[in-house]
Amino acid sequence: MTTTKVQAYAAQSATSALAPLGITRREPGSLDVQIEILFCGICHSDVHQVRNEWSSVMPTVYPIVPGHEIVGRVTQVGAAVTKYKPGDLAAVGCLVDSDHTCPHCQAGLEQFCPNMTLTFNSPDQHLGGVTYGGYSDRIVVDERFVLRVPANLSLAGAAPLLCAGITTYSPLRRWGVTKGKKVGVVGLGGLGHMAVKFAHALGARVVVFTTSPNKKEDALRLGADKVVVSRDVNEMQKHTGSFDFILDAVSAHHDINAYINLLRPDGTITIVGAPEKPLAVSAFSLLMGRRNLSGSLIGGIAETQEMLDFSGAHNITADVEVIPIQKVNEAYERLLKSDVKFRFSIDMASLKS
Ligand code: NAP
Ligand code: ZN
């Protein structure tokens, strides 16, 4: 197979900083789209995996090139590609391949395919080794995993839709969030702030739970009807038994029972945050009120396109701080301190400088 060298940023171990590295990409095959990457969002999952915090579930193979919130421009397409041509805007999220035949793929849930390939740190079916993500100047992806970006959206702000967007949109839709529902969002980070925008656009009454009092004004601007600083026990108790749905998007260890208790009978809390260590769940929090505890993983390709189209129609993008790739290590440290409003988006042109 013919390959080319491209520039990337990679970590060599769980404790080393990200630094420049030349990597190999395949030349586009007949079904492939080659994309020049313009922006790539920084997801907290990048940090978890660079630091091998998910070692029990998906151990990190080094070097790792993270990044699964990718937007760019098509530079070349294979002979059998029908949906894209050079010059088109295109996007890639967390998935780059699946077997297309299993019941999950047939149902449009490629994220549950036993043979799916993640955008980074997943066995590479073409070149061997592992896949390399979006902190690089170019990527080659099967056209069935390439998404279309609505023309009205800013590219830097659209990039985070490819993970933070779909990961929050999917459970909101699945659990029937609409006008008249009371919805809680726990953790106003990259995912959380997208959840607020989508839940508001779907017509719900949105309450944000945050540990950061300095995010209060922003939460209201993003579409929240109310903000609760979660350390305020009195304020928390006022909401006991009142929520139809709560989305938990917290990246670190926390007491989830405090939120389960806020659900009404038959209400649902969905975990999308993926902290390193298990969360303790009180049986009583669930028994009382027959409440549901569930999880959600990104979303399938068709639903990701639906989310992008919804975002285009409602003019929804992430609130981003654009950084050059040279600032990526600093950005990781700031992300760990919840010091970003609300997503870092890397301007990939900086990789050439
Ligand atoms: P993020 O931007 O860092 O946001 C996480 C938020 O959690 C922070 O902004 C903070 O919000 C809150 N938080 C952080 N530490 C906390 C603590 N010790 N106690 C309570 N709250 C705390 O991260 P993200 O990119 O949105 O990702 C969130 C999580 O979702 C990560 O674990 C990530 O790996 C996971 N994820 C899952 C999926 C999926 O498919 N399920 C997809 C993408 C990401 P406040 O300042 O408002 O308190
Ligand atoms: Zn992500």
Ligand 1: centre distance to CA 106 (Å):
31
CB 185 within 8 A of CB 206: yes
pLDDT at 237: 96
DSSP assignment letter at 214:
G
Pocket around ligand 1 at a 6 A CB cut-off: 43-45, 48, 163-164, 167, 187-192, 210-212, 215, 249-252, 254, 272-275, 296-298, 335, 338
Ligand 2: centre distance to CA 286 (Å):
28
Within 13 Å and on the Cβ side, how many CA atoms surround 151? Answer: 2
> Helix crossing, 164-174 with 190-201: angle to 10°?
40
Ligand 1: centre distance to CA 211 (Å):
11
Single out the residue of 24, 27, 23, 138 nearest to residue 90, CA to CA. Answer: 138
The closest ligand to the CA of 49 turns out to be 1
Classify 78 in phi/psi space as left (phi over 0), alpha (psi -120 to 50) or beta. beta
pLDDT in tens, the chain (353 residues): 899 999 999 999 999 999 999 999 999 999 999 999 999 999 999 999 999 999 999 999 999 999 999 999 999 999 999 999 999 999 999 999 999 999 999 999 999 999 999 999 999 999 999 999 999 999 999 999 999 999 999 999 999 999 999 999 999 999 999 999 999 999 999 999 999 999 999 999 999 999 999 999 999 999 999 999 999 999 999 999 999 999 999 999 999 999 999 999 999 999 999 999 999 999 999 999 999 999 999 999 999 999 999 999 999 999 999 999 999 999 999 999 999 999 999 999 999 98
DSSP state letters, 170-209: HHHHHTT--TT-EEEEE--SHHHHHHHHHHHHTT-EEEEE
Partnered with residue 270 across adjacent β-strands are 247, 294
Identity of the residue numbered 285: S
Give the list of residues 6+ apart from residue 255 with CB closer than 8 angstroms, or none: 280
Ligand 2: centre distance to CA 161 (Å):
9
Ligand 1: centre distance to CA 125 (Å):
31
pLDDT at 353: 83
Give the list of residues 6+ apart from residue 41 with CB closer than 8 angstroms, or none: 67, 69, 159, 160, 162, 163, 164, 190, 318, 320, 343, 344, 345, 346
Euclidean distance between CA atoms 7 and 21, whole angstroms: 6
Give the list of residues 6+ apart from residue 228 with CB closer than 8 angstroms, or none: 207, 208, 209, 210, 235, 236, 239
Euclidean distance between CA atoms 243 and 258, whole angstroms: 13
Residue nearest atom 31 in ligand 1 by C-alpha distance: 251
Residue nearest atom 27 in ligand 1 by C-alpha distance: 44
For the CA of 272, the nearest atom of ligand 1 = 41
Q: Which two tokens stand for residue 169?
A: 């949109």
Classify 263 in phi/psi space as left (phi over 0), alpha (psi -120 to 50) or beta. beta
Query: Tokens 């586009």, residue?
Result: 28
Ligand 2: centre distance to CA 68 (Å):
6
Residue nearest atom 20 in ligand 1 by C-alpha distance: 254
Ligand 1: centre distance to CA 144 (Å):
29
Residue nearest atom 1 in ligand 1 by C-alpha distance: 189
pLDDT at 1: 82
Euclidean distance between CA atoms 8 and 350, whole angstroms: 11
The closest ligand to the CA of 275 turns out to be 1
Q: Which two tokens stand for residue 282?
A: 């009180």
The closest ligand to the CA of 249 turns out to be 1
The closest ligand to the CA of 213 turns out to be 1
For the CA of 48, the nearest atom of ligand 1 = 34
CB 193 within 8 A of CB 170: no
Euclidean distance between CA atoms 118 and 77, whole angstroms: 21
For the CA of 296, the nearest atom of ligand 1 = 41
Ligand 2: centre distance to CA 133 (Å):
11
Single out the residue of 40, 240, 238, 42 nearest to residue 156, CA to CA. Answer: 40
CB 6 within 8 A of CB 137: yes
- pTM of this structure: 0.98
Partnered with residue 77 across adjacent β-strands are 33
What is the Cα 75 distance to its own chain's centre?
A: 25
| Kind and range of the H or E run holding 126 | none
Single out the residue of 176, 172, 214, 173 nearest to residue 192, CA to CA. Answer: 172
